[in-house]
Structure 1
Amino acid sequence: MSKVVLITGGSSGIGKSVGEFLTENGFIVYGTSRNPQNYSESKFPILKLDLKSIETIKETIQEIIEKEGGIDVLVNNAGAGITGAIEELPEVEIKANFDTNFFGPINVIKAVLPQMRKQHAGLIINITSIAGYMGLPYRGIYSASKGALELITEAFRMEIKDFNIKMTSIAPGDFATNIAAGRYHAPLLENSPYKKPYGDTLDLMNMHVDSGSNPIMMARAVLKIINTKNPKVHYKVGAFMQKISIVLKRVLPDKVYEKMLMNHYKL
């Protein structure tokens, strides 16, 4: 029997790449989007799901269960970027980012757990970010929301172990996707004390995304994890320097690491 995979945010970027790759490898894949009608030519079905709406989460998961008899793998991929000086970010945008990157994935997990417990089997993969391992300047809220999802993964996997449900996280680095286009950018204000450093950092971030790795790397990582009997707690996928930055944070004194980041962002 082919495994049934649900990928949130499967209409573009990493989610689309993972979905197409798994489909090619014989999996039954469902992706989600807030506007599925825009993706009629997708290589796998795209269903309507809004991470900020528990009703749509439950309805979509129930639709898949009724059609396929269960869900074997959940890839919590949908997310949103946010940039800006924390002082200048509107509270409503900060909360919206956590709704998408943190509370939304938790609600999707809660919705699939009863079925996976009934099956006495399941795998949940949370897509986080290497940015979640460190507080990055002008990406602090994004770092915080993805870092929170990393910690929740650690706690959750211990709580569901007795049900034979596995959970892990994959932290990608910069990949060539359209995430920058959908990111909330705090405006560059003429009278802002952050105007120059934020503007320079924003240009650097966009350049990193444009020259990022091919998202097929993430697709291959997901397939490898699905085929792993006992997945690790965390995985990192990306360029060598991005992955080594996590190691350096563990071994370097805090101020040395902070100085390294500031030099990187020319702050």
Structure 2
Amino acid sequence: MRQKIVLITGGSSGIGRYIGLHLQSKGYKVFGTTRNLENYPEFSDFQLIELDVRDNTSIARALNDLIASEGCLDVLINNAGIGITGPIEETPEAEIKKVFDTNFHGPINMARAVLPQMRKQNSGLIINITSIAGYMGLPYRGIYSASKGALELLTEALRMETKDFGIKITNLAPGDFATNIAAGRYHAPANSDSPYYKSYSKSLAIIDDHVKEGQDPVKVAEMVFRIMNTKNPKVHYKVGSPMQKFSLVLKKILPDKLYERLLLNHYKL
């Protein structure tokens, strides 16, 4: 049986790396992407290729090389993403744009680039890694929530548009997992003269604690493997702590203002 080819954006660290290692152990041929190969001279977990999801020229070059080498692409995992925190009023416009260019436009760019090959194969799977945060507007994480929520909705539309081509598309929304995402996240400065200083500083500490106390990222990798071996994947999947998943149930059944109060209490606002 032919070894299936998997491409994971943002595969050099964090959840992407865990996914790659797990899938490789299951017999898949894994390629991960990074914006700059020079930063990973000793990376040997699986093959890394240079690709920037914000740059269509970079995407085309990398995919052309991959298809020429392997002849096909079975699975695209849109994992590349960046975090951001801060009061919406005080978050620089350039930083907001950067997040959407990576978290939302990046997966669109990748999907548009791989769909012709998958349509030619009459097969393929795209898994968009979103976030449980994308199901609700979280205080001081509104930009991040919006970028991931937008990707969830886009996936719903793209599934219907591509249903006749043998291509499967789904979302996987993780909760908090113990990775290095906090180190790479943009934090709007908590200036002491800001009207948001007290509440933002308090929330930021809680947000960082959530990541530090997060679950083992291998659980996300195991869910990806399950999805890849599901004949007809669902539209949405979630993986996280029982409380995080239960929060989504509460959002569906509680009045908006009551749910908002729960979030305010959770973030001690």
Which among 58, 61, 67 is matched to residue 60 of structure 2?
Answer: 58
Q: Return 5+ residue gaps in structure 2 as ranges.
A: none
TM-score normalised to structure 2 length? 0.98
User: Do the aligned partners of 2:251 and 2:259 also contact (CA within 8 Å) in 1?
Assistant: yes
The residue type equivalent to 2:27 in the other structure is G
1:7-86 to structure 2, matched below 5 A, reads 7-39=8-40, 40-86=42-88
Task: Measure, in 1, the Cα distance between the counterparts of 2:211 and 2:65.
Answer: 35
Alignment correspondent of 1:89: 91
Q: TM-score, normalised by structure 1?
A: 0.99
> Structure 2: how far apart are the matches of 1:16 and 1:57?
19
Aligned equivalent of 1:249: 251
Contact 2:54-2:109 within 8 A present in 1 as well = no
Could you tell me how far apart the structure 2 residues matched to 1:64 and 1:54 are? 15
Residues 85 and 186 in structure 2, CA contact (< 8 A), matched pair in contact too: yes
**How far apart are the structure 1 equivalents of 2:64 and 2:208?**
38
| SS in structure 1 of the partner of residue 69 of structure 2 | helix
Name the structure 2 match of 1:112.
Answer: 114
User: Identity of paired residues, percent?
Assistant: 64
C-alpha distance in 2 between matches for 1:45 and 1:37: 14
In structure 1, which of residues 176, 179, 182 is the aligned counterpart of residue 178 of structure 2? 176
Spell out, residue by residue over 1:149-176, the C-alpha distance to the aligned partner (whole angstroms, 9 max, x if none): 0000000000000001000000000000
Of 148, 159, 167, 1:146 maps to: 148
Q: 1:203 deviation in Å?
A: 0.5
Could you tell me how far 1:63 is from its partner in structure 2?
1.1
Deviation of 1:36 after TM superposition, in Å, equals 1.8
Query: Residue 15 of structure 2 aligns to which amino acid in structure 1?
Result: I
Which stretch of structure 1 is more off in the superposition, 36-45 or 4-13? 36-45
Q: Secondary structure at the match of 2:243?
A: helix
- SS of the residue corresponding to residue 104 of structure 2 reads helix
- Which residue identity is paired with 1:66? A
Counterparts of 2:45 and 2:268, CA distance in 1 = 42
Aligned counterpart, 2:200: 198
Deviation at 1:37, TM superposition (A): 2.5
Deviation at 1:69, TM superposition (A): 0.3
Partner of 1:259 in structure 2? Answer: 261
- Please give the alpha-carbon distance, in whole angstroms, between the structure 2 residues aligned to 1:170 and 1:203: 26
- The total of aligned residue pairs comes to 267
Q: What residue identity is the alignment partner of 1:14?
A: I
Q: For residues 63 and 140 of structure 1, what CA distance do their matches in structure 2 show?
A: 37
Corresponding position of 1:240 = 242
Structure-2 separation of matches of 1:60 and 1:158:
27
2:262 partner SS: helix
Out of 212, 221, 237, the residue aligned to residue 219 of structure 1 is 221
Q: Distance in 1 between matches of 2:18 and 2:90?
A: 34
Quick one: which amino acid aligns to residue 32 of structure 2? G
Task: Find runs of 4+ consecutive structure 1 residues off by over 3 angstroms.
Answer: none
Shift of residue 199 of structure 1?
0.6
CA contact (8 A) 1:11 1:42 kept: no
Q: Distance in 1 between matches of 2:177 and 2:227?
A: 19
Q: What aligned pairs does 1:120-139 form with structure 2 within 5 A after superposition?
A: 120-139=122-141
SS state at 1:166 partner: strand
List alignment gaps of at least 5 residues for structure 1. Answer: none
SS state at 2:52 partner: coil
The separation in 1 between residues aligned to 2:179 and 2:44, in whole angstroms, is 17
**In 2, Cα distance between equivalents of 1:227 and 1:42:** 26
